[in-house]
Amino acid sequence: MAEDLIVTRGLVIPASELRERFSRSSGPGGQHVNTTDSRVELSFDLANSPSVPESLRTRMLDRLATRLVDGVLTIAASGQRAQLQNRAAARDRLASLLRDAAAAPPPDRRATKPSRGAKERRIAAKKRRGITKRNRRASSDD
């Protein structure tokens, strides 16, 4: 499965920049789990990667700061019994994480004010509610 990781149309991580490490999984598998290395740790050195443009790299490093250790992003997958499925899951999660980190920031919010009609409708609704509550009270005439 040594193929490039496609994050977005403009960002493709070469397979040579990804490091996979395998170990015994603590997940499902019965007796099988003690004999196979099905857990996958996928690592990507984001800080030193030549395939990530500099403008994207700073944004991604800021957004993923809590997940990085010395600029390296590591994903662990051990949910499946088969190593191949865990490898695919780790690659999918890494691509998703990088895609979210590379996304353009949302546009700045433009402050607006409620329209005059909206203010009038709000006040009218409050008055109607007040009248309803006032009508529920016991009158002092009784």
Per residue in 32-64, pLDDT tens? 555 667 788 999 998 888 988 888 899 999 999
Radius of gyration of the chain (CA): 28
Burial of 11 (0-12, 13-18, 19+ CB in 10 A): middle
Q: Which pLDDT score is estimated for 24?
A: 78
| C-alpha–C-alpha distance, residues 65 and 2, integer Å | 27
Q: What is the pTM for the complete model shown?
A: 0.69
Collapsed DSSP state (helix, strand, coil) of residue 82: coil
CA-based nearest residue to 72, from 61, 58, 63? 61
Mean pLDDT (the chain, rounded): 86
CA-based nearest residue to 90, from 29, 23, 32, 30? 23
pLDDT exceeds cutoff 70 at 140 = no
Look at the block and give the residue holding tokens 């019994």: 81
